[in-house]
């Protein structure tokens, strides 16, 4: 059997009192039950990134910026696939998440991305649709099915259990697609490094 896919789970919300960790931990349990994937949860509260960028094409000059990036960038580079856990903020995704995405480029290239979104009425799906555009620019492949949780506080308990079995089914469907693309693209990158 192929070695397990390394899946970086990027938790995009950094708000005080956020619900994001409950969603991320519920989803992480799905990954932990699979033998074809390993998970690395990147929480942007634990590993914040600078918001001031260097001159385009140049590395960051500030030592503290280099240090902050070193806690995130190698983990994205090592990943075979990504899952972005995002709330919807003002019909889009949070600025903290865009900042983390924009700090990187080659780390995303030719890799699949799945989404676990949550929010109010829209279940976070408007954030997902905007993220698909962003990830296309970064030569990443977004998988068709996303997990969308409407009012997740009524669906996922702090114990990590989903009150709605549809949420578990959606997580499995998305991960099955991510697995197919993850293996296919890992083999393709090994055979023909992506540099287009």
Q: How far apart are CA 86 and CA 127, in angstroms?
A: 7
DSSP code at position 71: T
Applying CB under 6 A, the site for ligand FMN has a residue count of 15
Phi then psi for residue 163, to 5 deg, are -75, -25
Binding status of residue 155 toward ligand FMN by CB under 6 A: no
x/- map, 106-145, ligand FMN, by CB under 6 A: ------------xxxxx-----------------------
DSSP 153: G
Pick 73 or 99: Cβ nearer ligand FMN: 99
Q: Which of 10, 20, 81, 135 touches ligand FMN (CB under 6 A)?
A: 20
**Whole-angstrom distance, CA of residue 132 vs CA of residue 171:** 18
87: contact with ligand FMN by CB under 6 A: yes
d(CA 57, CA 26): 38
| Dihedral (CA of 53, 40, 20, 23) sign | positive
Q: Which of 62, 67, 77, 91 binds ligand FMN (CB under 6 A)?
A: 91
182 is an interface residue for ligand FMN by CB under 6 A: no
Contacts of 189 by beta carbon, 8 Å cutoff, 6+ apart:
110
Residue from the set 19, 26, 93, 108 that interacts with ligand FMN by CB under 6 A:
19
Span of 17-25, 42-50, 129-137, 182-190 interacting with ligand FMN by CB under 6 A: 17-25
Is 58 or 90 the residue whose CB approaches ligand FMN more closely? 90
Which position among 5, 7, 13, 147 is part of the footprint of ligand FMN (CB under 6 A)?
13
Comparing CB distances to ligand FMN, the nearer of 87 and 182 is 87
63 CA to centre of own chain: 26
Instruction: Kindly tell me the sign of the dihedral angle through the C-alpha atoms of 109, 141, 86, 167.
Output: negative
């Amino acid at each position: 059997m192929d070695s397990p896919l390394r899946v970086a789970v990027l938790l995009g919300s950094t708000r005080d009192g956020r619900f994001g960790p409950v969603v991320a931990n519920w989803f992480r349990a799905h990954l932990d039950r699979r033998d074809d994937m390993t998970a690395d949860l990147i929480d942007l509260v634990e590993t914040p990134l600078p918001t001031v960028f260097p001159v385009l094409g140049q590395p960051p000059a500030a030592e503290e910026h280099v240090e902050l990036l070193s806690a995130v960038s190698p983990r994205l580079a090592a990943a075979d696939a990504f899952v972005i856990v995002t709330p919807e903020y003002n019909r889009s995704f949070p600025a903290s998440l865009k900042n983390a995405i924009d700090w990187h480029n080659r780390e995303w290239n030719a890799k699949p991305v799945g989404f676990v979104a949550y929010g109010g009425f829209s279940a976070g799906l408007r954030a997902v649709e905007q993220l698909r555009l962003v990830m296309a620019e970064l030569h990443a492949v977004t998988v068709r099915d996303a997990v969308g949780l409407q009012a997740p506080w009524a669906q996922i308990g702090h114990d990590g259990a989903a009150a709605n079995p549809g949420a578990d089914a959606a997580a499995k469907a998305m991960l099955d697609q991510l697995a197919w693309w993850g293996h296919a693209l890992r083999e393709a990158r090994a055979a023909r490094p992506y540099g287009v």
